[in-house]
Amino acid sequence: MKIVTSPAEMQSIALDLRQQGRTVGLVPTMGWFHEGHLSLMRKAKDVADSVITSLFVNPIQFGPSEDLDNYPYDLERDKALAAATGVDFLYAPEKDSMYTDAFSTTVHVEGVSEGLCGDARPGHFDGVTTVVAKLFNQTLPHFAVFGQKDFQQLAVIRQMVRDLDFPIEIIAHPIVRESSGLAMSSRNTYLKDEDQDAALSLSRGIANAKELAADRSATVEKIKQSVQQDIEKHQACEVEYIEIVNATSLAVCDNIDSESVILLAVKINNSIRLIDNSFLLASS
């Protein structure tokens, strides 16, 4: 596995791979790899000849009171994990090479970036789309693999790719969970032993919502209220949002159908922000 830190070198390598007729797969990450990240890399290996994993803790997608300074980072650890998964290139640019003092461009996607995490984290998705657009131009992938845990982010990236005519196939990969049911996340490292039960309220709430939806008699509001009550039984939990939306448009659902997805964001002890989601009805 080759380590690349320069955007110019990365783009040169990507151009050379394409000229050789090789397909390129990209897995964008902010590091602190867990099995969820590694599953994305394995998926990229399934569909592409050469796999690039980017590792960049993107400062412009963090708000002023968020956890940028404390975000977990260990390059040597992540190098070993990526190499063991068969990644061909680990692209780890420095902040100054991604955003010079003269940098003044923002990529903004309207519509699907609004509401949900867009309301809770103003400016977050502008930071995401701007860095992903840069990564696409630096790595020139045929495929890019994103996890479904960040469901709204996935919708925003897909919209950007359509609107800006990026010749890239976006591949969604299912959520990878701990044996307990907790959705894997780099931020899970913040959780203390006594926080685990509160954190599991998200996946338990989703399981409850799916049971209610399968009954076909529960309304959208009843399902949301039931999930909120389940989560708020834990004093450590503060619900940021619970919404049931259409999987493509992210418009709020009036009724439950095969495209209905429940999305949750919850803060544990007012500091650890966890998200989770699921389609409500089992696919036929």
The residue among 56, 113, 96 whose CA lies nearest residue 250 is 113
37 given a catalytic annotation? yes
The residue among 267, 223, 229 whose CA lies nearest residue 245 is 223
CA triple 187-191-192, angle to 5 deg = 160
In 3-state terms, the chain is what percent helix, strand and coil (to 5)? Answer: 40, 20, 35
For residue 15, the surrounding DSSP H or E stretch is helix 7-19
As to burial, measured by CB atoms within 10 angstroms (0-12 exposed, 13-18 middle, 19+ buried), residue 177 is: middle
Contacts of 171 (CB under 8 A, 6+ apart): 43, 44, 47, 143, 144, 145, 146
Q: What is the per-residue burial (b if ≥16 Cβ within 10 Å, else e) of 273-282?
A: bbbbbbbbbe
SS3 214: helix
Cα separation of the two ends of the chain: 41
SS3 7: helix
- Residue of 34, 37, 124, 173 marked catalytic: 37
Q: What residues are labeled active site?
A: 37
